[in-house]
Structure 1
Amino acid sequence: MSVVIDVSDAPLDRISFAMSPLAELGAVLHVLAEPSHHPGLLEWATETRTALPPELADRLYEADMLWRSTRSDLFLPSIAAADLKEELDAWDRLDDDAFVVAAVEISCATSFAHPRPSPLRRPEDRRRARELAAARGLRQAAFADRLLEDPHRVRAWLRRLLEDCEQAFFGEVWQRVRAQLAADARHKNELLKHRGLGQAVAAVSPAITLDTARGCLVVDKLQDGRVTGSGTGLVFLPTAFGWPHLVVRDAHGDRPVLQYPVALPELPSALSLATVQRRLEAVAHPLRLRLCRTLARGPHSTTELADANGLTAPEVSRHLGVLKKAGLTRTRREGRYVFHELDIERVGRLGADLLGNALR
């Protein structure tokens, strides 16, 4: 599974790295709504939520379908600006149809949908938008109802909410991280200019690769989709609050957006989805699971394992080969015997590796 971004005919001058306070605010609001996704920010999220005025906390909860589990396109601008006011001014220039589509185009589907028609136009599209919002909760359904009934009023309400967030906590956050994000975007723009797109995306994340033969970027995610940047280009937005997520916006005719976490050296490198799947499949077999139990206690030879499990040595060797190919065991030779041992650290990381791919 992967998200493929077609860049075969993307003009180089339309591919860029930029920083966006609106995108960063979206990432921050997601952390506040789902702190379990971001254990490194749990203390910050707890302190910030505790300090929120109750009225502001209620308003954030009311609209959190825009950033809780799926980020609304409104928070991933194709044209970034220097400050939050400029980006919110760009919201004001959107017509009601474009604004509402971006606000309600939220689903837990694992594939990118075709651009949906405006729910302001047809009753069936309005019903679909309400159903998706209702699945998120009663307050979210009420928010969507108000948005569909009076988009202009809700747009103004949402803008005031974000401005209040800037006053309450985001202004301090942005002042703290903007230099880091600017430096990251500047560095990657230099890589893009002097060493090409492949080197630039390699510096973004090991989960992104440039397939030169097909002219596309492949984002290793538990998600299927194809996004076109051909002819339009692509914008990358760094975030200090994004790990472990890689968020892709299909802008449906405008420049697609990829928001990525800035490098954090203390975090473990993310394994590819294929590697995680291979390791899970390796331990899913009942016999290999029993072998893992034995090997976790110490090194054992093939002969020992065969005798203990009532199998032939070739049968055990085949199962050990699967575990070794998955990178879950180590071997060492002593005379004519080969001893197998479970890689405790890698097996212990399986849950975290799976979660990292699920959240990417």
Structure 2
Amino acid sequence: MSVHIDIAGLRPERIAVVPSPLAELCMALHALSEPGHHPGLQGWVTGVSAGLDPHLADRMCEADFLWRTLFSDLFLPAAGIPGGAALPGATLAEELDLLDKLTDEQFVDAALEFTCALPYSTRGTTALSAPELRRRALDLAAARGPQQVRFSERLLADPPRIRAWLRQFLEDCDAAFFAETWSRLRHQLASDARHKTDLLRRRGLAEALASISPAVALDESATRITVDKLGDGRTATRDGGLLLIPTSLGRPHLMVLHRYDWQPVLHYPVGSPELAAPPSVEQLTLRMAALSHPVRMRLCRSLARSAFTTSELTQVHGMTAPEISRHLSVLKKAGLVTTRRRGRYVLHQLDVTVVARLGSDFLEGILR
């Protein structure tokens, strides 16, 4: 499972690394709605939440599905501007002006993404022009509760009114807490953007992508970017460009905008690097599957305490050597067991450091 971006024919000058205040505001709203995703922001979340005006806090709940359960493409409006060459604005006001430039169809379809009713990676009709899609979007919104249904009904009935509501809400968030936060973060994000731009110029795209995340890779032909995620998607730069947008508040999320006819975007976290590179989705799947077998769990109990030979494990667990070897092979392929030779003996032992990271690795994998 992964998201692919076809960049065949993409000119280097069409790749831009630039911060986005609106995208960072989306991450701020997400962190306030889902603080469990961001344990490192607990102090910031507590401080902002305590100072929020109750009326603004209530309004924050009206459309929180745009930033809580997913990250709406509305917060990256530059990607939707025709031509695939627009860049995020330097200020929130400039970005909101870009948001105003999206058509009603673009705005409504992006806002209704949470219903999963509309095509994303392929061309399709819009909810404003297709009654069957409109009905399906409302039916699926009902599964999320009456609040989402009311918002969706208002959105479909009067898009300009909802667009004005959203802009005013975001401006009020800026005045209440985000302007101060952005003034502190923008220097870090600008510095990271300059560093990535320098890497692009001196070392090439592969090096720049590797510095973003171990989960992002460029193939040998330099025509396709693959982002290792628990999800499938495909897009292409076509005649447009590629945007790389850093986020400070978004860690550990690594987002890929791959909406059809929009400029592809990699929205990546910056900050303190992990002590170890996170495993790929395939590695994580192997590890979880390896530990799901009761026999291998019992073997791990022994191997966590000491190193054992295959012969010793057959005695301890009352199994044949081929059976033990087969289970050890699965554990070693998953990277959970290490081996070392002592004379003519081969000793196996559980890598407790890797096992101890499984919980955080799993969480990062599903949130990436």
Q: TM-score range by the shorter chain?
A: over 0.9
The one of 197, 200, 225 equivalent to 2:205 is 197
Count, aligned residues: 359
2:121, 2:235 within 8 Å by CA — same for their partners in 1?
no
How far apart in 2 are the matches of 1:273 and 1:146?
A: 39
Q: Give the CA deviation at 1:170.
A: 0.5
Q: SS state of the match for residue 10, structure 1?
A: coil
Q: SS state of the match for residue 58, structure 2?
A: helix
1:191, 1:199 within 8 Å by CA — same for their partners in 2?
yes
Verify: 1:32 aligned to 2:40, yes or no.
no
Structure 1 residues 256, 221: CA separation in 2 closer, same or farther (over 3 Å shift)? Answer: same
Q: Give the CA deviation at 1:166.
A: 0.3
Verify: 1:61 aligned to 2:61, yes or no.
yes
2:120, 2:260 within 8 Å by CA — same for their partners in 1?
no
The one of 249, 253, 264 equivalent to 2:257 is 249
RMSD, aligned α-carbons: 1.9
- Identify the residue that residue 8 of structure 2 maps to in structure 1: 8
- Identify the residue that residue 93 of structure 1 maps to in structure 2: 101
- Identify the residue that residue 338 of structure 2 maps to in structure 1: 330
Q: How does 1:124-203 map to 2 (within 5 A)?
A: 124-203=132-211
Structure 1 residues 133, 209: CA separation in 2 closer, same or farther (over 3 Å shift)? Answer: same
Q: SS state of the match for residue 208, structure 2?
A: helix
Q: SS state of the match for residue 105, structure 1?
A: helix
Deviates more, 1:319-328 or 1:162-171: 319-328
Letter in 2 for 1:49: S
Q: Give the CA deviation at 1:175.
A: 0.3
Letter in 2 for 1:288: R
1:70, 1:108 within 8 Å by CA — same for their partners in 2?
no
Letter in 2 for 1:131: D
Q: SS state of the match for residue 213, structure 1?
A: coil
Q: How does 1:113-128 map to 2 (within 5 A)?
A: 113-128=121-136
Report Cα offsets for 1:301-359 as digits up to 9, x if no partner.
22221012222223212322221232212234444433322111211211221111111
How far apart in 2 are the matches of 1:10 and 1:334?
A: 54
Letter in 1 for 2:312: E
- Identify the residue that residue 49 of structure 1 maps to in structure 2: 49
Structure 1 residues 122, 317: CA separation in 2 closer, same or farther (over 3 Å shift)? Answer: closer
2:121, 2:260 within 8 Å by CA — same for their partners in 1?
no
- TM normalised by structure 2 equals 0.92
Letter in 1 for 2:46: T
Identity of aligned residues (%): 53
How far apart in 2 are the matches of 1:294 and 1:158?
A: 58
How far apart in 2 are the matches of 1:137 and 1:291?
A: 46
1:65, 1:133 within 8 Å by CA — same for their partners in 2?
no
Deviates more, 1:269-278 or 1:100-109: 100-109
Verify: 1:216 aligned to 2:237, yes or no.
no
Structure 1 segments of 4+ aligned residues over 6 angstroms from their partners: none
- Identify the residue that residue 318 of structure 1 maps to in structure 2: 326
- Identify the residue that residue 258 of structure 1 maps to in structure 2: 266
Q: Which ranges of structure 2 fall in alignment gaps of 5 or more residues?
A: 80-86
Verify: 1:308 aligned to 2:308, yes or no.
no
Q: Give the CA deviation at 1:284.
A: 2.1
Q: SS state of the match for residue 291, structure 2?
A: helix
Q: Give the CA deviation at 1:268.
A: 4.5
Q: SS state of the match for residue 69, structure 2?
A: coil
How far apart in 2 are the matches of 1:267 and 1:36?
A: 21
How far apart in 1 are the matches of 2:275 and 2:180?
A: 24
2:237, 2:263 within 8 Å by CA — same for their partners in 1?
yes
- TM normalised by structure 1 equals 0.94
Q: Give the CA deviation at 1:112.
A: 4.7
Deviates more, 1:148-157 or 1:325-334: 325-334
Q: Give the CA deviation at 1:75.
A: 0.6
1:232, 1:253 within 8 Å by CA — same for their partners in 2?
no
How far apart in 2 are the matches of 1:281 and 1:112?
A: 31
- Identify the residue that residue 226 of structure 1 maps to in structure 2: 234
- Identify the residue that residue 236 of structure 1 maps to in structure 2: 244
1:11, 1:232 within 8 Å by CA — same for their partners in 2?
no
How far apart in 2 are the matches of 1:63 and 1:338?
A: 59
